[in-house]
């Protein structure tokens, strides 16, 4: 997997967590997986298609997600409240949106789809199609995982016209 | 938390009224909290572009904070519809995706400004002051900048 394509997602997650959690985050682990993805906490998935295709999963420990949701209400939020998965979806949306903007500025054309809450059943499917890079960020409120599975279509980016055969 | 000078309307000194449009409940709550910080009032909320159009007509807000990627009808199409019916509408696009093409399209359809998520209260405050410049009771000083129509 090309690291230059992954880097914007790392920078974007770092920036979004710093803004939304008002606390530093640091990468504590990086792994590669080819098996079905096992959700670790509350997860949201965002798909994208075009010159770059794949999906990103943002997976947060429930107390970390509840902490972010708590900033809205200025009170403690129980991880079981409906606003918590909504929070994970919107954070995923921000992370992917910011990274996609950077990649788009570098000339990569692709479309981002709205985030979806990732259920246990979808998890198995989510990791079957391709190799994924999983980054673990440590925050004061719990770990946040970013699972990135993407492919770059070099042929699509060139968009060559078909060669005529005599 | 930082305090902001309350933004009021020039003609009646009432709080600025906002229409918040985003398919994410989290994003709507987050923006509503900032509106409260600015001394404003949430006139209405919508989770998609189609509802935004009807809510605009129903609530006649001073300003709209509009997401781009939404179900039913996307934000750019909703802006086009709202501005066609209400040429003086003041719409600020609020999106996590800041593609140049998207921003240009929104501005061409009638949006007044663009702000990328995550939204910082300071930035939104300055943009609201800039966009509502002639409608506010206190004149903005050095507000806005960046992208304008």
Alpha-helical regions (H) of A34-82: 62-73
Residue A58 contacts residue A88 (beta carbons within 8 Å): yes
Coil vs helix vs strand at A107: coil
So what's the pLDDT on residue A166?
Answer: 40
Q: Is B85 exposed, middle or buried (0-12, 13-18, 19+ CB in 10 A)?
A: exposed
pLDDT, one tens digit per residue, over B65-104 is 999 988 888 899 999 999 999 999 999 999 998 888 889 9
Write down the residue that tokens 């990103």 correspond to: A56
Question: Domain limits of chain B?
Answer: 17-132
Q: What average pLDDT does the segment A90-109 reach?
A: 92
A163: confidence class by pLDDT, cuts 50, 70, 90: very low
pLDDT band at A9 (very low <50, low <70, confident <90, very high): very high
CA atoms of A165 and B7, how far apart (whole Å): 68
**Residues 6 or more apart from A73 whose CB is under 8 A from it?**
none
Nearest-5° Cα angle at A95, A123 to B74: 90
User: Is 90 exceeded by the pLDDT of residue A111?
Assistant: no
- Parallel, antiparallel or unpaired: strands B63-66 and B91-95: parallel
Best mean pLDDT range from A62-71, A75-84, A100-109, B39-48:
B39-48
ipTM over 0.85: no
Q: Which of A89, A100, A101 sits opposite B24 (nearest CB)?
A: A89
Q: By the 8 A CB rule, do A46 and A92 touch?
A: yes
A153 — pLDDT class (breaks 50, 70, 90): confident
**Residues ≥6 apart with Cβ < 8 Å to A3:** none
Inform me whether the C-beta atom of residue B99 falls under 8 Å from chain A C-beta atoms: yes
Number of residues in chain B: 149
A123: confidence class by pLDDT, cuts 50, 70, 90: low
Give the per-residue pLDDT at B53.
97
Mean pLDDT score of chain B: 90
More confident residue, B124 or B2: B124
pLDDT of residue A127: 53
Q: Does residue B136 contact residue B7 with C-beta atoms inside 8 Å?
A: yes
Tokens of B114: 């663009």
Region B121-140: what's the mean pLDDT?
88
The residue extents of the domains of chain A are 3-155
Q: B127: closest CA among B94, B96, B88?
A: B94
The CATH number of B17-132 is 3.40.50.2300
Whether residue B141 is predicted with pLDDT greater than 50 in this model: the reply is no
Which of A18, A67, A86, A101 is most worth mutating to test chain B (most B CB atoms within 10 A of its CB)? Answer: A101
> What percent of chain B stands above pLDDT 70?
91
Nearest alpha-carbon partner for A39 in A21, A55, A61, A24: A61
Work out whether the CA dihedral A30, A33, A37, A40 comes out positive or negative: negative
d(CA B123, CA A11): 21
For A95, list phi and psi in degrees, rounded to 5.
Answer: -60, -50
Identify from B20, B34, B68, B97 which residue to disrupt to test chain A contact, counting A C-beta atoms within 10 A and taking the largest count.
Answer: B97
What are the structure tokens assigned to A66, written together? 């509840």
The CATH superfamily holding the domain A3-155 is CheC-like (3.40.1550.10)
């Amino acid at each position: 997997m090309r690291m230059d394509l992954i880097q914007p997602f790392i920078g974007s997650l770092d920036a979004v967590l710093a803004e939304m959690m008002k606390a530093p985050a640091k990468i504590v682990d990086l792994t590669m997986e080819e098996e079905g993805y096992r959700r670790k906490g509350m997860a949201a998935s965002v798909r994208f298609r075009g010159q770059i295709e794949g999906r990103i999963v943002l997976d947060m420990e429930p107390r970390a997600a509840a902490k972010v949701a708590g900033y809205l209400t200025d009170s403690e939020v129980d991880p079981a409240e409906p606003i918590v998965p909504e929070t994970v979806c919107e954070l995923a949306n921000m992370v992917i949106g910011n990274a996609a903007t950077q990649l788009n500025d570098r000339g990569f054309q692709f479309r981002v789809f709205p985030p979806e809450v990732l259920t246990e059943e979808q998890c198995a499917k989510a990791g079957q199609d391709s190799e994924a890079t999983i980054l673990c960020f440590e925050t004061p409120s719990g770990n946040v995982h970013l699972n990135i599975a993407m492919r770059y279509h070099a042929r699509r980016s060139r968009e060559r016209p078909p060669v005529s055969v005599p | 938390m930082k305090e902001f000078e309350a933004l009021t309307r020039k003609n009646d000194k009432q709080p600025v009224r906002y229409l918040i449009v985003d398919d994410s409940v989290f994003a709507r709550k987050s923006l509503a909290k900032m509106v409260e910080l600015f001394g404003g009032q949430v006139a209405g909320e919508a989770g998609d572009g189609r509802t935004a159009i009807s809510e605009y007509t129903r609530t006649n807000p001073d300003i709209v904070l509009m997401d781009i990627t939404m179900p039913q009808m996307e934000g750019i199409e909703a802006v086009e519809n709202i501005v066609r019916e209400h040429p003086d509408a003041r719409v600020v696009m609020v999106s996590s995706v800041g593609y140049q093409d998207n921003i240009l399209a929104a501005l061409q359809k009638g949006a007044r400004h663009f702000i990328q998520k995550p939204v910082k209260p300071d930035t939104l405050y300055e943009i609201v002051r800039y966009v509502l410049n002639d409608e506010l009771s206190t004149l903005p000083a050095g507000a806005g900048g960046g992208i304008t129509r």
